[in-house]
Each structure stands twice: as structure tokens, then as C-alpha cells.
Structure 1
Amino acid sequence: MSIILQNIFSTEFVYMWIRVVTPILLPALGGAICNRAGVVNLGLEGIMLLSALAGVLGSAFGGNLLAGLAAGLGTALVVSLVFAYFHLNLKANATICGTAINTFASGFTVLLLFTITGEKGTSASLKSFSFPTVNIPLIEDIPVIGKILSGHNLMTYVALLAVLVVWFLLYKMPLGLRIRSVGENPDAASSVGVNVRRTRYIAILLCGVLTGLGGMYMSMGYLGMFTREMVAGRGFIALAAAAMGQSTPIGVFLSSMLFAFFDGMSNTLQLLALPSQFIDMLPYLATIGGLTAYSIQRARKAKRRLAV
């Protein structure tokens, strides 16, 4: 146990913690924007998976990182548009639309990868590009802090910056006010001239961009190649983080950090030679526990309001 504690309180663990939170935080912020607009987007997992493969294929055949970025974001936007059209225009159930995207992504990525490379498992045969690591001047020379904050992948800093950007969007910009008003009371928002459908379209597309970046980080930063089902439930964990953080940027950040901590812990617990199945389920067990605590808290608040 002392070995576990030493690892948890080490600079290497904190560095890994920040690294692990990136593919959770980005889609969680996107999910928060959708939630604020009154749309629950269950398709985050599928969007991440499709963007992860599109980024690798785009960079491999385009010959540069920008081509991969364009392919990944383009894929995320197209899938988000399909989700928005079916849900907002055709009035399809959002849960069913999201589930359809996840199911489609799981099979289509394997089919496309096999069609292009002849492999069903990984894209190792493709020469793809990855996002660079960034060493922050001055900070990298500070003992301890430099080892924790400097040297991360570019997408990690984008994710941290996105927390501030989403906060500014939701609370300081007219678009954010429209998104929040549509989510709280669409009829009232419509009565004062807010286009509810267009606002929700914008929220879904913004969610797609952030989720696509999270997916591309998995294959172009976290690993450096695409592997089958590599998102591994992070889209669902991001939904839990968005709900537990009450769809506020700071709350989502703290919830994502909590879930990422247990994800990092699963790597550290391997030192105890515990069964791999138990270690693998730890992040998802933490997600269930966090959502249970959140639901109990909300139920108690609702009872207190009714009592008053």
C-alpha cells in the first residue's frame, strides 16, 4: 500500500492525471453545452470514435497534421448535423439518435479500417501524424511544477483553455444567454424572438467540435494510432461528468478530474497484482458511484424545495 501512496503523490502521477483527463474533459464540455440547450447528446462515444479514425486517415493520406485535424473535425460536424437533423427536424428521440450513432461508429470504424488497411485492429500500417508536445518556457525550468505542467500534448492545453472559453461563451456572450434560455424554457425564449431550433443546432455543432477534438486526441496524442474501440467508454464518462458538474464549466472540470483520477488509479493499482478485470472496471465503478451521489443530492434538494 505504501508503494501505491508513493505513486499517487508523485509528480509522474499528477502528470498522468492531467494527461488522462483530456479525452474526458473535452467531450464533457461539449455535453455541457448541449445540456444547457436542452439536448442530451448520447452520441459522444460514437463521435469520438469516428473522429479518432478520421483524424488518422486524414493525416496519413493528406500528408500533414492539418489534413488530419480537418478530417476529424469535419467528421464530427457531419455526424452532429445528422444527429441534429433527426432530433430537431424529424423529432426523433435524442436517446435513440445517440444510441444509433454509437452503434454505427462501433461497426463502421472497423469496416473502414479493414477496407483501407486490411487490418481490423489497428492503423499501425499507416504513417499518420500526431499533435505535438509543448514545453512551456520558464515553467518547464521550475522544479516539480515544471514536470507537472510542462511537456503535455497540445490537446491537453486546448482542453484546459476550453474550460475558460466555454465559461465565457455561456455567461458573457449573447449566444450563451440564448443557449441557457432555450434549455431552461424554450417557449419563453421563443416568445422573445429566440430561434430555438437554430440555437440548439449551434449547441450541438459546438458539442461536436469539442467531442471531435477529444476523439482525435485519443488517436493522435494519447496513443499515436487508431485502435478498435479505443474510446473505451470515455464518451459515456464525459456525459456523467457533464451531469455531475451540473453542466457548468468549472463543475464539469472538477468532475472530469475526479473520474480521471480513478482512471489513473487503475494504472497504479497494477502494482498490487490485482485481477485485471477489477482494475479495468474501476473508472466505470467510480462513474456509477459519482452519479448515484449526485442523484441523491438532487433528490434531497428537490424534497427541501417542496417542503418550503
Structure 2
Amino acid sequence: MNEILAQVLTVGTLAVILAKTTPILLAAIGGGLSQVGNILNIGLEGLMLVGAFAGIAIGAVTNPYVGVLAALGAGVLLALVYAVASLVFKADYIVVGIGTNLLAIGITVLLLTVLYGNAGVTPGDVKSVLPKIDLGPVGDIPVIGPIFDDHTILVWIALLLVPVYWFVLYRTRYGVHLRAVGEDEPAALAAGIRVLRVKFLSIIVSGALCGLAGAQLAMASVGSFTAGMTSGRGFIVVAAVIFAAGRPVPTLVVCLIFGAADGLADRLALGGVNSSLALLTPYVITIAALVIAALRIRAAVTARTRRGLAQLTA
């Protein structure tokens, strides 16, 4: 037990947690943006998956940074399909999200087969790994340096997007309109807000960030693509979005918790703990988060109902 704890409780583990948090955080910011507009996008898994494939496929024949742009573009393209189906043709958001995930799985397996003759994984010579950023003297600072040194640029983008997300949400006209749409869509329409455009943009940005999340997932260390490699992380992101209710700081905190669970699962597996048991950890935390979120929402609805009844009685 002491040997396992010694291997898990290290500065290296914190660095792994930061790397594991990044794809979850990127996708959660995107999902949170659409959630604020009252769109629960459960297609985040599919958006991440196509981003991961595009990043590897394009990055392998060009360079990793072009691969990242391709991942972003792939996420936007699939998000466009989601937006048109749900906003233009008025299909149910949940149904379209399920369809988005299935479409992403089918497309990536088809492209793997057509391009590489293997429906499971890209060939060994198809690799694209994002370079790590060396912080120089900063990396030599005890404890802090090793945590933040040698990460991809997407890690820094994810961290910088948290204050950017807060600013957009609370200090811009678009953020005000998005929150108004999410809180009371008929009132927003009456106020002259272009609801369709506001929601459409939130979905497109969500797709772009999920594409970046997929790029980080595939290109940070492995550098290859495996069918279904998101492994349910998109649904973990949905849980984070629901729990944080689209708020920037809670989103960061919840994503760090999920990233810690994922990182610790890897470290426990390396320490000799049963790998299947260790890998259950993130999903157990996901279920707990959803239960807590459901209880919180129920309490809020009950309180709102009681206030309404009290006002009617008065």
C-alpha cells in the first residue's frame, strides 16, 4: 500500500491530472456555452471523436499544428449538422445528440477502413504528436515548475479560456443575450434578441472547442487514433456541464475533479491496482455528480414553486 501511495502522490501525478483535465475542460466550456442558452448537447462525445480523428489524419501528413486546426474544423462541421437539425428543422436536442454520437462513430470507422484498411486503429506510421512547451527556468521552480512544464499548447489554451469564458458570459452583449435566451426565450424574443443566431453560434463554438478537446486527447502523447478512443469522456463532460450549470469557475473545479479521477486511475493502474477497478473511478464520480446535480435542481424547483405559491397567497 505504501508503495502505491508513494507512486500516486507525486508532483508527476499533478502534471498528469492537468493533462487529463484539458480535454474535459475544453469540451465543458463549449458544452457550458450551449447549456447557458438552454441547449443540453449530449453530442459532445461525437464532436470530440471527429476532432481526434481529423487531428491525427491531417497532422500526420502535414504537421501537428495543422492537425489541431483540422480537429477544430471537424468539430465545427459536425456541430453545424447538429445546429441545422436541432434549430432549423426543430428536431429534439437529445435525439440529435444521440444521432451525432452515432454519426461520429460511423464516420471515423468508415474513414479508418477506407484510408488505412483497418477499422480499429491508425497504422504505426500515421503519427502526429503535439510538441511540448518548455518553460525554461520556470520549469525549475520546485513543485510548481514540474506541474506546468512540458505540456502542449492546448493545455494553456484551456486554462486561458476559463477567464475568457467568464468575460464573454458576463461582460459582453452576446453573453447577456445568451443568458437571456437560456432564462426566458419568449421574453428574449420579445426584447428583439435574435434567438436562433445566438443559439447557433453557441453550438458552433461548442463544436470548435470539442474538436480541440479531441486533438488534445489523441495528440498529446499517443499520437494515433483508435476507434471510440473518447471512451465516454463526452458523457463525463455532459455531467460536468450539468453539475456546473455553465458557470466558468465551477466548470473549472468540476473538470479538475474529473481530471484527477482519470489521472489517479492511470497512476493506480501503474501502481498495481486492478486496472478495471481503477478505470471505474471517473464514472463512479460522474454518477455521483449527476445525482447531486439532480437533487440540487429539484431543491431549486421546489423553492421556486413555494415562492410562487406564497406570492399567489399574498
Superposition TM-score tier, normalisation by shorter sequence: over 0.9
Give 1:297 deviation, angstroms.
2.8
CA contact (8 A) 2:52 2:211 kept: yes
Distance in 1 of aligned mates of 2:143 and 2:299: 42
Question: What does 1:157-172 align with in structure 2 at a 5 Å threshold?
Answer: 157-172=156-171
Give 1:82 deviation, angstroms.
0.8
SS in 2 for 1:152: coil
Cross-structure match for 2:311: none
Cross-structure match for 1:261: 260
Distance in 1 of aligned mates of 2:149 and 2:265: 24
CA contact (8 A) 2:57 2:126 kept: no
Cross-structure match for 2:277: 278
Cross-structure match for 2:46: 46
**CA offset digits 1:94-130 (Å, max 9, x no partner):** 1111101111111221121121111222223444433
Tell whether 2:15 aligns with 1:5. Answer: no
Give 1:300 deviation, angstroms.
3.0
Tell whether 2:119 aligns with 1:131. Answer: no
Q: Which amino acid aligns with 2:130?
A: F
Give 1:3 deviation, angstroms.
3.0
Number of matched pairs: 307
Tell whether 2:225 aligns with 1:226. Answer: yes
CA contact (8 A) 1:49 1:231 kept: yes
Distance in 1 of aligned mates of 2:29 and 2:40: 13
CA contact (8 A) 2:64 2:128 kept: yes
Q: Which amino acid aligns with 2:139?
A: E
Give 1:69 deviation, angstroms.
2.7
Q: Which amino acid aligns with 2:44?
A: L
Cross-structure match for 1:17: 17
Distance in 2 of aligned mates of 1:189 and 1:179: 9
Cross-structure match for 2:180: 181
Distance in 2 of aligned mates of 1:16 and 1:152: 10
136-145 or 155-164, larger mean C-alpha shift: 136-145
Q: 1:178 to 1:141 in 2, by over 3 A?
A: same
Cross-structure match for 1:122: 121
CA contact (8 A) 2:72 2:208 kept: yes
Distance in 2 of aligned mates of 1:43 and 1:126: 31
244-253 or 6-15, larger mean C-alpha shift: 6-15
TM-score (norm 1): 0.94
Q: Which amino acid aligns with 2:100?
A: I
Cross-structure match for 1:36: 36
Give 1:9 deviation, angstroms.
2.9
Give 1:138 deviation, angstroms.
3.5
Tell whether 2:147 aligns with 1:148. Answer: yes
Give 1:260 deviation, angstroms.
1.2
Give 1:178 deviation, angstroms.
1.0
292-301 or 51-60, larger mean C-alpha shift: 292-301
Q: Which amino acid aligns with 1:71?
A: A
**CA offset digits 1:56-111 (Å, max 9, x no partner):** 111233x2234323322221111111100110010001111110111111122112
TM-score (norm 2): 0.92
For structure 1, the residue ranges without an aligned partner over 5 or more in a row are none
Tell whether 2:81 aligns with 1:82. Answer: yes
Q: Which amino acid aligns with 1:9?
A: L
CA contact (8 A) 1:86 1:97 kept: yes
CA contact (8 A) 1:37 1:182 kept: yes
Distance in 2 of aligned mates of 1:184 and 1:301: 14
**CA offset digits 1:5-54 (Å, max 9, x no partner):** 33343101111110110111110110000001111111110111111111
179-188 or 296-305, larger mean C-alpha shift: 296-305
Distance in 2 of aligned mates of 1:130 and 1:30: 24
Question: What does 1:182-197 align with in structure 2 at a 5 Å threshold?
Answer: 182-197=181-196
Distance in 2 of aligned mates of 1:274 and 1:65: 34
Q: Which amino acid aligns with 1:70?
A: L
Q: Which amino acid aligns with 1:43?
A: G
CA contact (8 A) 1:117 1:125 kept: no
SS in 1 for 2:220: helix
Give 1:229 deviation, angstroms.
1.0
Distance in 1 of aligned mates of 2:274 and 2:127: 34
Give 1:222 deviation, angstroms.
3.7
Tell whether 2:197 aligns with 1:198. Answer: yes
Give 1:307 deviation, angstroms.
4.3
